[in-house]
């Protein structure tokens, strides 16, 4: 599981670039304490120095989502909410090394595009007679 957030400087709510970098460091440090965290990076676009990317790798999607509910991570919300509004969580489908290419199966459920928050996980779910 790879999480990528892009942040455009200057960040709202941060006095300068140093404050934004310190916030990114704090975010990665807090995430690193959570179960399932593998590693993380703060990067800057070479051709657009005002564009930062925070990327982190997780053992699985559940670990990442549970980490977001951690109190220590919630304290970092001012930095996290400064991310560009776009998809951030990606599952790895191909992994390449100099010697191999490995294909990973998707973890997405067969009904991932048809069932969402507030929906039942089956075509029909009886509410029963609670009368």
Q: Where are the domains of the chain?
A: 2-103
Q: Which residues contact residue 31 at a Cβ distance below 8 angstroms, ignoring those fewer than 6 apart?
A: 37, 40, 56, 67, 73
Distance of CA 47 to the CA centre of its chain: 24
CATH of region 2-103:
3.30.70.100
Which tens digit of pLDDT belongs to each residue from 79-121?
A: 888 899 999 999 989 999 999 999 988 877 777 777 666 666 5
Give how far Cα 101 sits from Cα of 1, 94, 96, 97, 107, Å. 17, 7, 4, 6, 19
pTM, two decimals, is 0.77
Which tens digit of pLDDT belongs to each residue from 29-77?
A: 999 999 999 999 999 999 998 999 999 999 998 999 999 998 888 888 8
Report the pLDDT value the prediction gives residue 112, as an integer from 0 to 100. 73
Give how far Cα 50 sits from Cα of 21, 46, 54, 67, 76, Å. 12, 9, 13, 27, 21
Report the pLDDT value the prediction gives residue 106, as an integer from 0 to 100. 86
């Amino acid at each position: 599981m790879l999480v990528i957030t892009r942040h455009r400087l200057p960040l709202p709510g941060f006095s300068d670039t140093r404050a934004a970098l310190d916030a990114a460091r704090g975010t990665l440090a807090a995430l690193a304490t959570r179960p399932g965290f593998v590693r993380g990076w703060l990067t800057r676009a070479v051709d657009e120095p005002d564009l930062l990317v925070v990327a982190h790798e997780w053992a699985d999607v559940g670990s990442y989502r549970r980490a977001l509910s951690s109190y220590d991570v919630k304290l970092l919300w001012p930095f996290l909410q400064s991310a560009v509004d776009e998809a951030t969580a990606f599952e790895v489908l191909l992994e390449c090394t100099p010697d191999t290419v490995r294909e990973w199966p998707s973890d997405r459920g067969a009904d991932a595009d048809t069932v969402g928050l507030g929906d039942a996980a089956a075509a029909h779910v009886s509410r029963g007679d609670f009368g």
